[in-house]
Amino acid sequence: MERNRLITMIEIAIMAGLSVILSYIEFGALWAFGGSISLVMVPIFIMAFRRGWQAGFVTGLLVGIVSLLTGGYVVHPVQLVLDYPLAFAVLGLGGVFVFHKTVTIGRIFGGLLLGTSLRLVCHFLSGVIWFGSYAPEGTPVTLYSLVYNLSYLVPEMLITAAVLVFLKKTAPTFYKQSIQANHRSASFNN
C-alpha cells in the first residue's frame, strides 16, 4: 500500500509541474485583469480521472499555489484563495464522474463541466467582490464578471475536452484504473 501511495504522490507532483509549465503556453492574452486560455487544466483532469477526485483536488491545489507564487495578482487574502488554490483545486472534483467507472466521452464531458463550472464560481465571486470596479459604466457587476470569466474558461474547457477525448480515442487504456490503482486513491486518504 505504501508503494501505491508513493506512486500516486509522484504522479500528482509530475502532473502539477506539467500543468504549471502548460499554463505558460497561452492561446491569446486578451484579458486585461487576469485569465488566459492554456492547457493548464489537462493534467489536473487527467489525475482526477485516473486516480480520483482527491488526487485531482491535490494536484489542482498545488497548481494554484505554484501559480500564485510565480506571478499571482493579489488584492485581498480571500481573493487570493478564490483565484488561485481553490479555483484550480475544484477542477479535481470532476473526477467524481469518471473514477471507478468505465470512462466514456460523456463522463469526460460531465467531469469537465463540473470542474470548470466550480472554477467559474470561484473566479466569478472574486470578480464581483474585488474587481467589480472595472465593469464598464452601466454594466451590472455580476454580468461583467460572468461574461469576463466565461470568455476564457469556455474556450479553455473546449480545448481541454479536445485533448482528453483525443487521449481517450487514441490510447483508450490511458484512463483505465487497475484494482491496484483503485486502492491507491483509498490509501491516499489514509
Rounded to 5°, the CA angle 98-104-108 comes to 55
What is this structure's pTM? 0.89
Residue 112 buriedness (CB in 10 A; 0-12 / 13-18 / 19+): buried
How would residue 188 be classed by pLDDT, with cut points 50, 70 and 90?
low
How would residue 115 be classed by pLDDT, with cut points 50, 70 and 90?
very high
Provide the pLDDT for residue 32: 57
pLDDT digits (tens, 9 = 90+) for 18-51: 999 999 988 876 655 666 899 999 999 999 999 9
The DSSP call for residue 35 is: -
- 80 and 125 Cβ atoms separated by less than 8 Å: no
Q: Where do the domains of the chain lie, and which CATH numbers do they carry?
A: 2-25+33-179 (1.10.1760.20)
- Alpha-carbon distance of 61 to 146, in angstroms, equals 23
Provide the pLDDT for residue 181: 44
Quote the longest CA-to-CA distance of the chain: 59
pLDDT digits (tens, 9 = 90+) for 142-170: 999 999 999 999 999 999 999 999 999 99
Provide the pLDDT for residue 180: 47
How would residue 182 be classed by pLDDT, with cut points 50, 70 and 90?
very low
Residue 178 has pLDDT above 60, yes or no: no
The DSSP call for residue 33 is: T
Question: Could you tell me the three cell numbers for 8?
Answer: 500516486
pLDDT digits (tens, 9 = 90+) for 89-98: 999 999 998 8
Cβ-based neighbours of 77, under 8 Å, separated by 6 or more:
none
Residue 103 has pLDDT above 90, yes or no: no
Question: Could you tell me the three cell numbers for 133?
Answer: 470596479
- 119 and 88 Cβ atoms separated by less than 8 Å: yes
Cβ-based neighbours of 84, under 8 Å, separated by 6 or more:
64, 65, 67, 68, 72
The DSSP call for residue 37 is: -
The DSSP call for residue 82 is: I
pLDDT digits (tens, 9 = 90+) for 117-132: 999 999 999 999 998 8
Provide the pLDDT for residue 33: 61
Q: How many CA atoms lie within 13 A of 178 on its CB side?
A: 2
pLDDT mean across residues, the chain:
89
